[in-house]
Structure 1
Amino acid sequence: MSDLGELLRKARDQRGLTLDDIQETTKIRKRYLEAIESGDHTVLPGPFYVRAFVKNYSEAVGLDPDEVLRLYQHEVPAAPVEQIAEPMVVRSPRRVKSQSSERLGKIGFNVMMWSFLILIVVVIWVYVINKDSDGPKQVDNSTNITDASEPPVKNEDGVAGGSTNAPTNEPVAPTPTEAPTTVVFGSKVGKADQYDIGPIGKLHKVEVKVAGGRSWLEVRTESNKGEKLYSKNAEDGTTESFDLNGVIYINVGRADLIEIKVDGVLVPDGDRATSKKVLLQPLSGGSETPEGTITPSNDANQSQ
């Protein structure tokens, strides 16, 4: 067994996966996966497929494919050099229109023009009808302006007045509205993308949904070495929710099959068939910038 195959096999065993699981995730035949682990590349279709299969295998077991190919480049054949050929100018064939097609085209054009004219006439007619029906309405003179026929009651000063409970002009306090959740890219922390979650003081809810197939999903607190909240191959349709009480680290095997939302706001993950690592950091202090984003005062860039 080659060093590369031993590395991939150990990573697969650590995650509790079988070759059948890898075959279902990567769509690579099991005999090709066995050949990669044993180092027998003659079974594979060609050098290009060796690199592609090793890369997909590495992503499925949570390894960095570029780092694996760099460390074991002596075992993986180099990618073939593409030959650049001059593009040949191909003239598009002239379309020959028959008399029947031209006649049908003229009929269709005439029908469209007449339909447009009829539509304009209908719109003008509806507008005129509605304008005439919106004329001034006469007031029914038989209706009394007020129900009371008694004279107004005078107050102590002899001045006629109405009710003693006069309305006050005190301003009514507006009902406060909750600030919307913001997801702002902060920085690159190691191999993870850090996003600052606002506003400050709001209890956020993180939702991770798997759609389209099985994918590796790992959720931890603080960093990739923090407390494990979820770690396994998630089936299609799986939905997991977490309270964002602190920094959350999320590692997925297939970003195109994973959807991460914070309070319903989508976290961009590239949407590619590769692994993705994300750090979600709730804002806990700082000041607002002129653009409305929050500058955090705590330093979460130490976690990864």
Structure 2
Amino acid sequence: MELGARLKEARETKQLSIEDVQKITKIQTRYLQAIEKGNFSAMPGNFYVRAFIKEYATAVDLDPDLLIEEHKAELPASSDESSIQYTRVQRSRKDTSSTKSPAIFSFLPTAIVIILIVGTIFAFWYFYQKSQADDTNEPRQTEEDNGGNDEVQLPRDQQENADVGDGEEEQEEAPAEDEEETDVEEEPEPTLTLTDQGNAEQTYEFINTTDQLVVTLNTDNEHWLEIENGKGNVFYNEMFYANQTPYEQDLTGEEQIYLRFGNPTSLDIKINGVTLELPEDIEPSKVQKVWINVQNSAE
């Protein structure tokens, strides 16, 4: 019995329709029908022939690996499987290391502003004291010219100005300290955490610190790609190619994101700029399913 006939027989034994299998596997009906008829040329690529057959077999309680082994002569050769490497994992590590060094210099603008403020206050104080000293020396010089017998006092308005100047200097120093404390405060950064993982399926929690939610995808390969929200609304459901990158999908306001994609190791996914890192032990030949629960903290 051919592979497609075995899958169809197993489906009918479980009293499932093609539409039922489509809901379980998320594979389009036309591809499921092509598998049952043995028309593998209708698949989006040789890589997806084995991936879709495994999904179908799992849905009807057949051993996918054993089924592939028994009918491998019927399947087209796939050269992609032997050459797939964990390029996306390596890229994400490089991205992480490259973003650490600029953080060291993030405090330089703050330090420069503080130095300028302190320098300005010091210069004001220095020249003010110097001008007061010059004004004081003029009456003393007059006293010496008169023989030093008469006592000379500063005019009352100059004495009052000196007292007021000291008070203004103290008031100007206080805002500088407040500004320094304000500049040191940092805004919270978004985080993406893996909370659960199973057979080619992972769940993440994303803490969003902004009012927007944007998914960005980059690749140098080709992938079957599906993007949905938690309510089943479909935003993307077709092949995704390298010439489409970078691709952005605005999902602002969504509380849950669902991604399903093939060739997982060569697809770079970011949520608001935060890289989604898949577990290192994933099987690169399997289609991956990713659920992302969104928690908004910027409210």
TM-score w.r.t. length of structure 2: 0.48
- Greater relative contact order (Cα < 8 A, sep 6+): 2
Specify which structure has the higher proportion of helix.
2
